[in-house]
């Protein structure tokens, strides 16, 4: 699979979340979704990114976004 360009819709996928619930991207189409990847957990850059999303979660949700971290 090639790298997506900014603004390109993500391909459909299904994953299980931290509570063992299935999340289907297709069911979220048409709503605001922020999909971010943190490939190296517990590293400064990825931790900072994840913490920023955590700290901004309420305003993002209030603006209609769902934040998904992979």
Catalytic machinery residues: 46
Round to whole Å and give the CA distance between 14 and 27: 10
| Beta-sheet pairing, 14-16 with 22-24 | antiparallel
Round to whole Å and give the CA distance between 68 and 5: 18
């Amino acid at each position: 699979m090639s790298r997506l360009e900014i603004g390109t819709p993500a391909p459909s996928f299904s994953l299980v979340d931290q509570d063992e619930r299935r999340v289907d991207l297709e069911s979220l189409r048409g709503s605001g979704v922020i999909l971010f990847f943190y490939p190296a957990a517990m590293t400064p850059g990825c931790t900072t990114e994840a913490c920023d999303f955590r700290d901004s979660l309420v305003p993002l949700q209030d603006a209609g976004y769902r934040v998904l971290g992979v």
